Amino acid sequence: MSNGKHKPRSSTDVSAADISPVRRDIGPLRIIAIGFNIPNSWVAIAASLSTALAAGGTVSLIYGTFVSCAFYACAAVTLAELASVYPTAGGQYHFTSILAPERYNRQFSYVCGMISTLSWTINAASVALIGSQLLVSFPQFFNGYEPERWHLFLIYQGLNFFSLFYNLFLLKRTNWIHDCAFVLTLSTFFVTCITCLSRSKKQSPEWVWTNFETMTGWNDGIAFMTSLVTPCYMYGGLDAALHLAEETLNASQTVPRALMATIGIGFLTAFTFAVSMAYCISDLESLLTSTMPIFQLWRTATRSDAAGVTFLISLTIIVIFVLIAIQQTTSRLIWAFARDRGLYLSDHFSQLSPKLRDIPSNALILNTVLVFFCGCLFLASTAAFNALVGSFLLLQMISFALPAALLIYQKRSSTFLPQSRGFRVPDPVGWICNFGTIVAAVIELVFFVFPSSLPVSALSMSESPRGTYYDFGWYTDGSKDYASVVLLILLLFSVVNWFMFAKQHYQGPRVELILDQSISPDTSFQDAQTVGTLVKHAVQGYCDARFFKLRDMMREFIASGQDIGASLCVNVNGEDVVDIWGGYANASTKEPWGKDTVVNVFSTTKLVTNLAALMLISRGAFRPEDKVSQHWPEFAANGKAEVTVGQVLAHTAGLSAWHDDMTLEDICDNRKATDKLARQQTMWIPGTRMGYHGLTQGFLVGELVRRKTGMSIDEFIREEICRPLGVASDFQLGCCKEDWSRVAPVVPPPGPSIQEMLSQQVGYDGESIVARTLCNPSFRAEDANTELWRSSMLGSANGHTNSRTLVKILSCYSLGGICSGSGHRLLSPETVDLALTEHAKGIDLVTGRSGRRGLGIYLTGPGSGIVEDQLPDGKVGWGSGWGGSIVVMDCDRRLTIAYTMNRMLNTPHPSPDAYIQAIYDIVRA
């Protein structure tokens, strides 16, 4: 998988969208509303009306909408096909990463990502200025007020920061605002068209459909091509739905529909509006010399200042709605690019804000700052600003053309576009659309940077003759002459970011193959490839550049069938440097392993249960040398009065099993199982030998906790450990029914059960300590998937959690008692030292292996049975669970490692061993 050769990376339903950390709260109708609201085609025509009319009259305006629709329909089909397979917030740059040859994967996707990100920021700046110009038009009309450039600048920044505030604090609570905007824009469209047509003096059909006059100095052909800026503007922001995919329900279906709906609704409204307004034009020359052409047109067409003002108010409100939606979309793109380590300070800009409903607040703030500086450019030079915003269409179309070209390069292979994808066009149509997107990009690159008029003069190279007033068109007068310069500056910015940061950290958003159909837990990846069905992402989450090897290892382990689904988290110095997950939570139902997937971790549970006892020791509730019977009098029965708390935690209490025969139902009855332990005698002299208390330790510790606090062990863990850390539902003894949907069922280890293996050994004794401990009760791994198991409280064996949560909790050992992230203290430094001090050593009576025990934790070092190249000597603790889950807590290096999985093995699981060795190799380097 990592041999450097090109490997297909595809899926039938991208898990990046399915398991995204952001909240999925955008439905199919709302994503169509947002997708249309941002381009808002008829509003775009209204805002840039004069550009097309000046370049080619009504012919350019009307017929240009057909050409524009053809261009962008090709792009929409290309994007929709890819989005139906890979619906992620990265959009075009993600598609580019998937389609590019492995050798150039990083470079191509980085270029596309920067182009797309910059284009959206510029789009936000342009709409902010349009809104400011609309707002100053009211006092200008009523009072003859002449706005200064700095007036526009202040209003521009006010709209910019208002949009930031709304996105931060209100949008997630009022997502319906997009629906309101959609209704308002369509209502205004119908009202303006009907009112203007019914009230105006009509132009002749011949003038409307054949009038071509240019004031640019170019010949008719070039004039028409340059005039396409206006109709192409009606699809500015076409890719909005792509970048909200990870917040959209059923994104692989709804996002492609939103793209196509934007094309269809956009053409119908824009063409209808263009024709309607063309019939209403009475004086083309006065319209072109007006400071606000659309307002002038509405006033003369309706023969009513009141009607014109009313329409203008509606247009202003719509533009403010558009700006809010653009800020939302741009922030998601910045967040996605930062998540993939494509931007300087990516760690900062890839963060989500739980207090603000998981929005990328830092990415929002960054975009607002960038838009602020774009406004400063406007204050300095309108021509330069116009050139900047004019580059938006060019950059956008280039970002569409890159994946289109790579799709052609890959010959539209079913490896990348599986036949079962949610949106599919006939293959010839697909080829035409892919080539059409490239042709459109070439045309825009050539003609949209032409000077707007001839001859080119020194005056046209500086300020717009209209002074401080910004023409709604993308280019005014001399601004096109700056377009090439602006593009070069943006290129320079991208190159600097690449060499300063991205070259070392950006690896591209990777997609891998894991099969999607006809998979059973016993099916290997190689065998499953014969099914011929393409699959889901293998690995998602965050991985610091130093630890990229772990991400590649997880892909390989999942691809080989060694793991079905897994999570891995690594924390260094209180910072999560790795938090990745991948594969299937449930292979039979094709449910991907998500960020919040939890799994039964068997004996790894004891680390958290024992932590509860250590917290009480830290608080002075009892001491390791205390007799258990001091706190639990009934426990003294049958000669156990001298058993200490420390012996219970160190597996030397002589109670590794029940004397009575037990069933699974018996141990799931917490009171019954605990009372039996209190009444029985020990199996060896306490404190003299060490024997693994596989199931019993959880009952013993749990009862001690209950006696001192009045809380059951699951209540104590939830209220005293998990809730303060914000993970109350992410570590549970058992699992509440409402969380079953996120539980990954364990896949039993192949071969005979432990009980069967023991019974087949020569000299097997069913009454031995080993047999009583491991076979009483007799149960199977798959019992962990039953309702009985999940509804019970087994402090030794049925913790349901994931790697991230284990690290958050158990990092308190590595960090001197304080948990990572929250800074919440669970243990005193003295208690940490006590837990990691040797309390038992020797051959374990149950496992037959040598080992060292602290209090509630395994230790490394001489006599531990752990060799140095696995875990180092020193102040290092660890614990593991049946099948393969493990946690390592290294105080010397302030390092915490956790691994969880659903495919179990009875032999040592190779995945955690390989991860741990690789992590230490990196840390030691």
User: Which residue would you say has higher pLDDT here, 763 or 355?
Assistant: 355
Mean pLDDT of the region 722-750 = 93
Residue-wise pLDDT tens digits, 362-399: 999 999 999 998 888 888 877 778 777 778 888 999 99
- Tell me if 204 sits within 8 A of 198, measured CB to CB: no
pLDDT over 90 at 76, yes or no: yes
Measure the CA–CA gap between 678 and 551, rounded to whole angstroms.
Answer: 47
Q: If you count DSSP H runs as helices and E runs as strands, how many of each does the chain have, helices first?
A: 38, 14
- Tell me if 856 sits within 8 A of 832, measured CB to CB: no
Number of Cβ atoms within 10 Å of the Cβ of 173: 9
Measure the CA–CA gap between 155 and 137, rounded to whole angstroms.
Answer: 12
Amino acid at 441: A
Peptide bond between residue 777 and the one before it cis (omega within 30 degrees of 0): yes
pLDDT over 50 at 448, yes or no: yes
Q: What are phi and psi of 894, to 5 degrees?
A: 50, 50
Residues of the chain with pLDDT > 90: what percent? 53
Confidence of residue 166 (pLDDT cuts 50, 70, 90): very high
Amino acid at 613: A
The dihedral of CA 475, 373, 366, 181: what is its sign?
negative
Q: Which of 490, 446, 437 is nearest to 76 (CA)?
A: 437
pLDDT of residue 556: 84
Question: For the chain, how are helix, strand and coil distributed in percent, rounded to 5?
Answer: 55, 10, 35
- Tell me if 594 sits within 8 A of 19, measured CB to CB: yes
pLDDT of residue 382: 76
User: If you average pLDDT over each of 47-51, 217-221, 368-372, 771-775, which comes out highest?
Assistant: 368-372
Query: Domains of the chain: which residue ranges?
Result: 32-140+154-167+175-505, 598-924
- Please give the structure tokens belonging to residue 174: 């009022």
Q: Which of 7, 186, 206, 195 is nearest to 105 (CA)?
A: 7
pLDDT over 90 at 508, yes or no: no
pLDDT of residue 765: 75
pLDDT of residue 867: 61
- Please give the structure tokens belonging to residue 515: 């099969």
- Please give the structure tokens belonging to residue 111: 């270029």
Confidence of residue 754 (pLDDT cuts 50, 70, 90): confident
User: If you average pLDDT over each of 297-311, 478-492, 710-724, which comes out highest?
Assistant: 710-724
CATH architecture of the domain with range 598-924: 3-Layer(aba) Sandwich (3.40)
Measure the CA–CA gap between 347 and 644, rounded to whole angstroms.
Answer: 47
SS (H, E, C) 520-535: CCCCCHHHHHHHCCCC
User: Which residue would you say has higher pLDDT here, 336 or 637?
Assistant: 637
User: In terms of DSSP H, where are the helices of 653-749?
Assistant: 664-667, 670-679, 696-709, 713-716, 723-725
Task: Put residue 329 in one of left, alpha, beta given phi > 0 → left and psi -120 to 50 → alpha.
Answer: alpha
User: Which residue would you say has higher pLDDT here, 58 or 906?
Assistant: 58
Confidence of residue 905 (pLDDT cuts 50, 70, 90): confident
Measure the CA–CA gap between 599 and 731, rounded to whole angstroms.
Answer: 10
Residue-wise pLDDT tens digits, 450-494: 766 666 554 443 333 223 334 433 334 444 445 566 667 878 888
The CA distances from residue 882 to 127, 566, 610, 697, in Å, are 58, 15, 17, 15
Mean pLDDT of the region 839-853 = 92
Measure the CA–CA gap between 636 and 407, rounded to whole angstroms.
Answer: 75
The full length of the chain comes to: 925
Q: Which of 605, 644, 625, 632 is nearest to 886 (CA)?
A: 605
- Please give the structure tokens belonging to residue 521: 């837990």
Does the domain at 32-140+154-167+175-505 match CATH 3.65.10.10? Answer given as no
Measure the CA–CA gap between 383 and 748, rounded to whole angstroms.
Answer: 69
Mean pLDDT of the region 314-340 = 91
Asked whether the whole model's pTM tops 0.75, one would answer no
Lowest mean pLDDT among 56-70, 595-609, 817-831: 56-70
Lowest mean pLDDT among 116-125, 754-763, 769-778, 838-847: 754-763
Q: What are phi and psi of 191, to 5 degrees?
A: -65, -45
- Tell me if 52 sits within 8 A of 64, measured CB to CB: yes
CA angle (84, 88, 90) in 5-degree steps:
125
Confidence of residue 559 (pLDDT cuts 50, 70, 90): confident
